[in-house]
C-alpha cells in the first residue's frame, strides 16, 4: 500500500468526476450521505450533505453556485503535515446532486 499523500488544500478539474464514479448515496434523516473514494488519495470517505434544513441560495464555500455542493475529503488516513484541527487530505471539489426520479 502506498504512503498517504501530504496534506494540501487543493483541487483539480477531474476530482468531481472521479468522486462521482465511486460514490454511493444513502438517504439520511437530514439529507444524503455520499460514500466513496477521495479522488486525490483514493482513500475511503463519507461526506454528509444536509438538505433538510435551511440552505442559502447564494454562493457557497469554494465558489459553489446554488446548484453545486462543495465536498471536502473526510478520509480517516493520517496525512503528513495535516493541521491538528483538520481531517482528510485537503482535497476539495464541487458536485451537483440530482433528485431521485
User: How far out from the chain centre does Cα 80 lie?
Assistant: 19
76 part of a folded domain: yes
- What domain range includes position 40? 15-95
5 part of a folded domain: no
Q: What cell was used for 84?
A: 491538528
pLDDT tens digits for 69-94? 999 999 999 999 999 999 999 999 99
20 part of a folded domain: yes
The total number of structural domains in the chain stands at: 1
Q: Say whether pLDDT at 67 is over 70.
A: yes
6 part of a folded domain: no
pLDDT tens digits for 14-40? 999 999 999 999 999 888 999 999 999
Among 94, 82, 83, which residue's Cα sits nearest to residue 12?
A: 94
9 part of a folded domain: no
58 part of a folded domain: yes
Amino acid at each position: 500500500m502506498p504512503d498517504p499523500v501530504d496534506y494540501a488544500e487543493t483541487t483539480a478539474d477531474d476530482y468531481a468526476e472521479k468522486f462521482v464514479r465511486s460514490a454511493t448515496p444513502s438517504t439520511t434523516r437530514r439529507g444524503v450521505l455520499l460514500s466513496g473514494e477521495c479522488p486525490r488519495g483514493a482513500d475511503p470517505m463519507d461526506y454528509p450533505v444536509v438538505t433538510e434544513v435551511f440552505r442559502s441560495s447564494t454562493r457557497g464555500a469554494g465558489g459553489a453556485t446554488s446548484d453545486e455542493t462543495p465536498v471536502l475529503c473526510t478520509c480517516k488516513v493520517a496525512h503528513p503535515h495535516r493541521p491538528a484541527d483538520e481531517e482528510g487530505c485537503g482535497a476539495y471539489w464541487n458536485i451537483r446532486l440530482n433528485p431521485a426520479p
